[in-house]
A and B are shown apart, each in its own frame.
Chain A
């Protein structure tokens, strides 16, 4: 049962993810992205991590992709292929092939754990403890980076607004 569900969710996720790349219409791509995130959270649920599954939906599907869709619709992107030149296309393809072969190499050279990792009884408590003790510095530095980025974006957009004489 578990294996069947695992394969079903994996195939669903991969199918949806390839839909993101293959569809011409950016809105369809965004829709496939939502579906693939759902597949991922299904996999998390299968591994018994309800918290991760819910966070996956809450943050990625519920917030980030909404912004993607928002921008796509606001800019009213047309479905034209002339934008992407051959060189860019080649670059993307070679980068993907290179990354994919790296992953394959990594998988082949390392021993794969044969059992499913133990999920602790109280996942939330375990995750929070790790975040605030062992991974405190990476956590804080990452959040600091995010803050810096928000301020940077704000500064860039505001200076352009001021340069164009817009005042608010």
Chain B
């Protein structure tokens, strides 16, 4: 590895990470305006044109507020909590593929921080660590509401990791690879001549399971039981001050972006445009770097669609009750996931036997 490689990798990491952090302020305004749209009211529209500077005002407010640490808390774990949530949320971004590769000074660089050969396992493994921040933070708050919120969160995330994993297993079986990049490569071209060759058309049940479980994993409505304001004040972050709460908030949005990125890479063709192959596009555009830019834009647009769906679902569906949530995971989603896995395995077996 040369020095230029090292510098470019560092720059790439910084650009992708900072780009993903921008999801937070954008989603702040999108979510509030989206809610307003669905509830037939204007929403925040005073700060800047169309209220676009509202996130800046929100962040300044959070930064300026006094930082308070309640006296009854376990200080070390209490302060560690938000960072234990943000840290894994930032790490998983490394495995997401944003495009094929770009050329610089005669060398090719992948549009991905790290091309891990077991990418999907990496995302699931690191992604499951975010729960510790919630658990320790909730416990250290020394408050019944926080503790119950943390407990709910952990049992919910563990339960929904199983359908998520089963859906991922079926996808891995289908593509024959654990690498997200390999999965995206397989999805080029068309299926039956009309549809794009995307995983969604081969694994619709798997996608549905993954989609539902993604909501539970990110603690979003209709599965935001860890922070139900009607029963638990604010759940695990009841005792937290302004920016600590902000950190939890950031992590939630970054997790949503990662989950969207995963769904795009696994089920919606990653950087591929429908019906057009990369080779044809390269002929039209004439330059590898232009193609890379187009691929990044494609991925971002696809991720944005999923982010909008998160907002849409949030303001459409009411919250589940906790026993309903558990029943949905254990009695419905897990059996469906197992059946899907067996069917996928059978199809793969008969296809290879031919």
- Interfacial residues, chain A to chain B (CB-CB below 8 A): 27, 31, 34, 50-51, 54-55, 57-58, 61-63, 66-67, 69-70, 73-74, 124
Contact at B154–A70, with CB atoms within 8 Å? Answer: yes
CA A69 to CA B138, docked complex, whole Å: 12
Contact at A69–B135, with CB atoms within 8 Å? Answer: yes
Contact at B139–A50, with CB atoms within 8 Å? Answer: no
Contact at A73–B139, with CB atoms within 8 Å? Answer: yes
Partner of B135, one of A51, A61, A73, A124: A73
A54 / chain B contacts, CB cutoff of 8 Å: 118, 121-122, 125
Contact at A74–B151, with CB atoms within 8 Å? Answer: yes
* Most chain A CB within a 10 A radius of its CB, from B135, B139, B155: B135
Q: How far apart are A34's CB and chain B's nearest CB, in angstroms?
A: 7
| B150 adjacent to chain A (CB < 8 Å) | yes
CA A70 to CA B129, docked complex, whole Å: 14
- Interfacial residues, chain B to chain A (CB-CB below 8 A): 77, 116-118, 121-122, 124-126, 128-129, 131-132, 135-136, 139, 147, 150-151, 154-155, 157-158, 161, 178
Contact at A58–B124, with CB atoms within 8 Å? Answer: yes
Q: How far apart are B131's CB and chain A's nearest CB, in angstroms?
A: 6
Q: List 8 A–B pairs whose Cβ atoms lie within 8 Å, in order of A's numbering.
A: A27-B139, A34-B132, A54-B125, A61-B129, A63-B128, A66-B157, A69-B132, A69-B154
Contact at A58–B121, with CB atoms within 8 Å? Answer: yes
Q: How far apart are A37's CB and chain B's nearest CB, in angstroms?
A: 10
CA A67 to CA B136, docked complex, whole Å: 13
* Most chain A CB within a 10 A radius of its CB, from B116, B118, B150, B158: B118
Dominant secondary structure of chain A at its interface with chain B: helix
Partner of A124, one of B124, B150, B178: B178
* Most chain B CB within a 10 A radius of its CB, from A62, A67, A69, A74: A62
Partner of B125, one of A31, A34, A57, A70: A57
Dominant secondary structure of chain B at its interface with chain A: helix
CA A74 to CA B144, docked complex, whole Å: 11
Contact at B125–A62, with CB atoms within 8 Å? Answer: yes
Decide yes or no: A63 and B161 within 8 Å by CB, A58-B121, A58-B124, A69-B135 being known contacts.
yes
Contact at A27–B117, with CB atoms within 8 Å? Answer: no
CA A70 to CA B132, docked complex, whole Å: 10
CA A50 to CA B178, docked complex, whole Å: 12
Decide yes or no: A31 and B136 within 8 Å by CB, A54-B125, A58-B128, A63-B128 being known contacts.
yes
- For residue B155, which residue of chain A has the nearest CB? A70
Contact at B77–A27, with CB atoms within 8 Å? Answer: yes
Contact at B158–A63, with CB atoms within 8 Å? Answer: yes
Q: How far apart are A153's CB and chain B's nearest CB, in angstroms?
A: 16
B158 / chain A contacts, CB cutoff of 8 Å: 63, 66-67
Contact at A51–B155, with CB atoms within 8 Å? Answer: no
B122 / chain A contacts, CB cutoff of 8 Å: 50, 54
Q: How far apart are B341's CB and chain A's nearest CB, in angstroms?
A: 15
Q: How far apart are B80's CB and chain A's nearest CB, in angstroms?
A: 9
Decide yes or no: A73 and B150 within 8 Å by CB, A50-B117, A66-B131 being known contacts.
yes
- For residue A65, which residue of chain B has the nearest CB? B132
Contact at A66–B154, with CB atoms within 8 Å? Answer: yes
A50 / chain B contacts, CB cutoff of 8 Å: 116-118, 122
- For residue B157, which residue of chain A has the nearest CB? A66
A62 / chain B contacts, CB cutoff of 8 Å: 124-125, 128-129, 131, 161
CA A62 to CA B117, docked complex, whole Å: 20
* Most chain B CB within a 10 A radius of its CB, from A58, A61, A63: A58
CA A61 to CA B126, docked complex, whole Å: 9
- A-B pairs with the 5 shortest C-beta distances? A62-B128, A58-B125, A57-B125, A54-B121, A54-B125
CA A124 to CA B158, docked complex, whole Å: 25
CA A27 to CA B78, docked complex, whole Å: 13
CA A58 to CA B169, docked complex, whole Å: 14
Q: How far apart are A55's CB and chain B's nearest CB, in angstroms?
A: 7
Decide yes or no: A27 and B136 within 8 Å by CB, A58-B128, A63-B161 being known contacts.
yes
Decide yes or no: A57 and B151 within 8 Å by CB, A51-B121, A63-B158, A66-B135 being known contacts.
no
Q: How far apart are A134's CB and chain B's nearest CB, in angstroms?
A: 22
CA A74 to CA B138, docked complex, whole Å: 12
Contact at B150–A57, with CB atoms within 8 Å? Answer: no
Partner of A51, one of B118, B128, B139, B150: B118
Contact at B147–A124, with CB atoms within 8 Å? Answer: no
Contact at B121–A55, with CB atoms within 8 Å? Answer: yes
A34 / chain B contacts, CB cutoff of 8 Å: 132
Contact at A124–B136, with CB atoms within 8 Å? Answer: no
* Most chain B CB within a 10 A radius of its CB, from A34, A51, A63: A63
B139 / chain A contacts, CB cutoff of 8 Å: 27, 73
A51 / chain B contacts, CB cutoff of 8 Å: 118, 121
Q: How far apart are B78's CB and chain A's nearest CB, in angstroms?
A: 12
Q: How far apart are B165's CB and chain A's nearest CB, in angstroms?
A: 9
